[in-house]
């Protein structure tokens, strides 16, 4: 009765709405089997009325994986529990451990399959929390990592507005209690042979290290869980203040004020940048990289063009701001000829130009009017010495000077296309917008013209 009482308390704390679905991540192992059995008992007793279902993720890593799938399917059938399963393929060779790949694939598929705003129930317990804490300690984690697994969290899927929630209602329960419950109720579960492989870090801890720790300190799982909860509390307070500081320093989605960053300590600078990346859903670089931001980027010489790179991202400095820039290939100087095709692909990572015919239209920053019968149209990348006179200006200057005056960062300049007709500049395509020259058509003449529109990859 103790386990079911604990579960009732945890579910009550979730304050579920009646329409929210509860989705069990069901592997077939003893932990998830006990959670499934408990949830079905609460359902049958009328203590929960939310839609209840189970999802099994088939990793294909074991020769017994198909048998486990059939076992889970039969258990759910016997309990009249809606069941679904999905197979995942692990992208090996990425440098990540097999454990990490399997975990990422499992969660990604669970998020994908779970209904919007549903709660995914995970069967991790107090002993799992101890293992997670020690693994994070081994990796040199700070409060966020040492908080280990949260009892409840929410996630918005990248690129969507879909929100799903994770709950771990058994985090205060030991595995001894779980196995005792399973034995008492004569449950039949599957055993994953890979759980005995001590080449995996978690299994090494479980079989080689934790038995000695528990023998010496029987309450260590409880005390470490308390430490993890305290770390989570401190991290929450830290993030609360970090969000406030970030709001004061942020200039745009991908820029921070250099002047403001210079006023904070290096410790706060690192924390603010971490919070910034977290909000953008970009994985934070290592502590070693973060520690270099102030010295190598912010405090670099005034005439320097500093670059601090990690993975596919760079920290760069321009116009008194710290910029977060995606890593892209440089576009070398070259020229494209537009031959009146409806779709002209631009160099990566740019998109394309799409043409439409108009009997009457006006040029704007959204589209450029051209009259093909007046001569050949070219798109030129590079050539910063080319002179250009913007519409509404009396001055002609080299593009390099205009880019400086318009505060266009150096890393964007090679991605600007200069459109010319008969070698006469008509417009610049800058970040998907047209900047017209004084020679550009402002509206169509009596005959038909073509409007060029920019279309991004997205």
pLDDT in tens, 269-286: 999 999 999 999 898 999
By CB atoms closer than 10 A (0-12, 13-18, 19+), residue 134 is: buried
Structure-block tokens of residue 11: 């579910």
Fill in the DSSP letter of residue 296.
I
pLDDT at 375 over 90: no
Helix (H) or strand (E) holding 218: none
- Contact (Cβ atoms closer than 8 angstroms) between residue 317 and residue 298: yes
Q: What is the mean pLDDT of the chain?
A: 90
Q: Which residues contact 418 (CB under 8 A, 6 or more apart)?
A: 379, 380, 381, 383, 386, 388, 399, 425, 427, 428
* Residue found by looking up tokens 């209602």 in the block: 169
Q: Which residues contact 301 (CB under 8 A, 6 or more apart)?
A: none
- pLDDT confidence bin for 444, thresholds 50/70/90: low
In this structure, the number of other CB atoms found within 10 A of the CB of residue 174 comes to 16
Closest by Cα among 173, 174, 156 to 165: 156
By CB atoms closer than 10 A (0-12, 13-18, 19+), residue 383 is: middle
Structure-block tokens of residue 396: 């002609």
- pLDDT confidence bin for 93, thresholds 50/70/90: low
User: At residue 323, what are phi and psi to the nearest 5 degrees?
Assistant: -105, 145
Strand 119-121 to strand 22-25: parallel, antiparallel, or no bridges (unpaired)?
parallel
pLDDT at 385 over 70: yes
Instruction: State residue 289's pLDDT score.
Output: 94
- Contact (Cβ atoms closer than 8 angstroms) between residue 20 and residue 117: yes
Helix (H) or strand (E) holding 40: helix 30-44
Instruction: State residue 361's pLDDT score.
Output: 62
Taking CA 16 as the corner, what is the angle to CA 14 and CA 19, rounded to the nearest 5 degrees? Answer: 160
Q: Which residues contact 15 (CB under 8 A, 6 or more apart)?
A: none
Q: What is the mean pLDDT of residues 115-131?
A: 94
Fill in the DSSP letter of residue 390.
B
- Looking at beta carbons, which pairs linking 37-43 to residues 24 or more positions away fall under 8 Å? 37/79, 37/181, 37/182, 37/185, 37/187, 38/3, 38/4, 38/7, 38/181, 39/7, 39/121, 40/79, 40/81, 41/4, 42/4, 42/7, 42/8, 42/11
Fill in the DSSP letter of residue 373.
G
Rg, the chain, Cα only: 29
* Residue found by looking up tokens 């009482």 in the block: 5
Instruction: State residue 303's pLDDT score.
Output: 86
User: At residue 197, what are phi and psi to the nearest 5 degrees?
Assistant: -80, 105
Report the half-sphere exposure of 8 (CA within 13 A, side-chain side). 12
Q: What is the mean pLDDT of residues 303-313?
A: 92
Q: For the chain, how many residues are written? A: 458
pLDDT at 449 over 90: no
- Contact (Cβ atoms closer than 8 angstroms) between residue 420 and residue 382: no
| Percent of the chain residues topping a pLDDT of 90 | 66
Closest by Cα among 421, 442, 419, 441 to 430: 419
- pLDDT confidence bin for 1, thresholds 50/70/90: low
Helices and strands (H and E) in the chain: how many: 15, 22
Instruction: Report yes or no on whether pTM surpasses 0.75.
Output: yes
Instruction: State residue 445's pLDDT score.
Output: 59
Q: What is the mean pLDDT of residues 330-345?
A: 90
Predicted confidence (pLDDT) per residue in 70-79, tens digit: 999 999 999 9
Instruction: State residue 406's pLDDT score.
Output: 94
pLDDT at 343 over 60: yes
- Contact (Cβ atoms closer than 8 angstroms) between residue 48 and residue 210: no
Instruction: State residue 74's pLDDT score.
Output: 96
Report the half-sphere exposure of 171 (CA within 13 A, side-chain side). 25
């Amino acid at each position: 009765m103790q386990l079911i009482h604990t579960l009732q308390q945890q579910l009550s704390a979730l304050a579920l709405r009646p329409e929210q679905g509860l989705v069990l991540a069901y592997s077939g192992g003893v932990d998830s089997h006990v959670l499934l059995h408990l949830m079905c008992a609460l359902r049958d007793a009328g203590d929960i009325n939310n839609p209840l279902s189970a999802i099994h993720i088939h990793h294909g890593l074991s020769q017994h994986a198909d048998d486990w799938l059939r076992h889970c399917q039969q258990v759910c059938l016997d309990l009249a529990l809606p069941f679904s399963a999905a197979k995942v393929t692990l992208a090996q060779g990425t440098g990540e451990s097999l454990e990490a790949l399997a975990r990422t694939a499992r969660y990604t598929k669970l998020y994908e399959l779970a209904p919007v705003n549903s709660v995914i129930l995970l069967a991790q317990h107090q002993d799992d929390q101890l293992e997670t804490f020690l693994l994070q300690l081994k990796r040199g984690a700070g409060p966020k990592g040492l908080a280990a697994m949260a009892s409840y969290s929410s996630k918005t899927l990248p690129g969507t507005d879909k929100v799903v929630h994770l709950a771990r209602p058994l985090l205060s329960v030991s595995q001894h209690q779980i196995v005792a419950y399973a034995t008492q109720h004569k449950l039949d579960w599957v055993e994953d042979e890979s759980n005995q492989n001590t080449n995996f870090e978690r299994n090494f801890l479980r079989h080689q290290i934790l038995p000695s720790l528990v023998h010496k300190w029987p309450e260590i799982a409880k005390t470490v869980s308390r430490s993890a909860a305290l770390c989570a509390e401190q991290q929450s307070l830290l993030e609360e203040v970090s969000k406030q500081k970030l709001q004061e320093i942020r200039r745009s989605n991908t820029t921070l004020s250099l002047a403001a960053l210079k006023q904070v300590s290096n410790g706060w600078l690192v924390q603010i940048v971490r919070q910034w990346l977290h909000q953008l859903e970009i994985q934070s670089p290592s502590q070693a990289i973060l520690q270099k931001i102030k010295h190598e980027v912010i405090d670099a010489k005034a005439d320097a063009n500093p670059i601090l790179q990690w993975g596919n991202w760079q920290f760069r400095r321009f116009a008194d701001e710290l910029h977060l820039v995606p890593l892209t290939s440089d576009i070398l100087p070259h020229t494209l000829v537009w031959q009146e095709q409806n779709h002209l692909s631009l160099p990566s990572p740019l998109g394309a130009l799409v043409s439409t015919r108009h009997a009457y239209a006006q040029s704007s920053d959204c589209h450029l009017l051209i009259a093909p019968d007046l001569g050949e149209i070219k798109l030129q990348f590079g050539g910063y010495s080319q002179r250009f006179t913007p519409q509404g200006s009396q001055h002609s200057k080299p593009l390099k000077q205009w880019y400086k005056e318009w505060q266009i960062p150096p890393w964007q300049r090679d991605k600007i296309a200069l459109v010319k007709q008969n070698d006469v500049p008509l417009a610049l395509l800058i970040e998907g917008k047209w900047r017209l020259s004084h020679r550009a058509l402002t509206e169509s003449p009596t005959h038909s013209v073509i409007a060029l529109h920019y279309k991004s990859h997205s």
